[in-house]
Amino acid sequence: MFTLAHLSDIHLSPMPRARHLDLFGKRVLGFVNWHRGRKVVHRRDVLDVLTQDIVGREPDHIAVTGDLVNLGLPEEFVLAAEWLRHLGPPERVTAIPGNHDAYVRLHPERGTGHWQPYMRSNEAGEALVRTPPTAFPFVQRFDDVALIALSSAIPTMPFVAAGSLGSAQRALLGLALEELGRQGLFRVVLIHHPPLAGQAGWRRGLRDAKELTSLLKEKGAELVLHGHNHEQTLFELETVTGPAIIVGVPSASEAVSGRISAARYNEYRIAKVNNGWHCEMIGRAVAESNTHVWECERRILRDV
């Protein structure tokens, strides 16, 4: 059995001090937004309670699906890299970027480049699917399970949090799904934005959700994990190789304050059984007191 923990939308705090020089364009609005309310919603103490629980349960692997930072300040990327190291070594942790990690156009060396060890294939994955020069999608293989990591993060105008994969990345994803399916692996697709059309509006959604949905139907996948909407959602998509389960997870740092969808992560237990798969999801959420984590859901997603 392989255990995979999935968390998303870290929105790491406290925010480093922003210099006047860094606050231009979209960041000015984000800065005002953060101080008006988001900093009360996304709390470091809540995140720490959640991550302590994950680390303590020692899953085989941990997937972080984006929005690690808030305004895309260079110092935020350094702090997020430190946080990733605290979560575990690159062999056991995979990260992909979200729209907040591409808040403004930034040279990779000053931005997500700091997370590079956590954003690359492993040897077994590379043997099956070569990583393109654009870095995405990259594939990691762990025995019967393969992670296919995508980037839907693109810089956008203020008030827009949309994402896009683009035709080149979609084409490579199609080839990867085919090859990994041929190998009989349990395919887990990681993406920040919700993959299905209608899961988020034009301003916040994945621009090529329709194309991605068709691709998933045509090539098949077993599990698709995403964030962005900051809520727990579960959909089933019928594909050529059986059902693909699509799960969105709430933000990992969201304090309980009247909203139901507070900080939570999901743990997946995946096992090959006869000619099919057994996959169970265990939801673990931060309690109202914000002091500990409890098992809020347990559900068999697949048993064939």
Which CB atom, from 9 or from 76, has the smaller least distance to Fe ion?
9
**Looking at the chain, which runs of residues are DSSP E strands?**
2-7, 61-65, 93-96, 138-142, 145-149, 186-190, 223-226, 233-239, 242-248, 264-273, 276-286, 293-303
Residue 11 CB, shortest distance to Fe ion, in Å, is: 6
- 188 CB neighbour count, 10 Å cutoff: 28
Residue 171 CB, shortest distance to Fe ion, in Å, is: 24
Give the Cα separation of 257 and 78 in Å (integer): 29
Which CB atom, from 39 or from 272, has the smaller least distance to Fe ion?
39
Residue 196 CB, shortest distance to Fe ion, in Å, is: 16
The tally of CA atoms less than 13 A away on the side-chain side of residue 75 is: 8
Residue 228 CB, shortest distance to Fe ion, in Å, is: 4
Give the Cα separation of 143 and 148 in Å (integer): 14
Which CB atom, from 61 or from 192, has the smaller least distance to Fe ion?
192
Buried b or exposed e, range 215-240, using 16+ CB within 10 angstroms: bbeebbbbbbbbbbbbbbeeeebebe
Which CB atom, from 197 or from 271, has the smaller least distance to Fe ion?
197
User: Which residues in this chain contact Fe ion in the complex, by CB under 5 A?
Assistant: 9, 67, 98-99, 228
Give the list of residues 6+ apart from residue 50 with CB closer than 8 angstroms, or none.
7, 252, 253, 263, 264, 265, 284, 286, 293
Which CB atom, from 139 or from 263, has the smaller least distance to Fe ion?
263
Residue 229 CB, shortest distance to Fe ion, in Å, is: 8
Which CB atom, from 203 or from 292, has the smaller least distance to Fe ion?
203
Residue 199 CB, shortest distance to Fe ion, in Å, is: 12
Distances (CA, A) of 81 to 10, 34, 69, 89, 228: 12, 21, 10, 11, 20
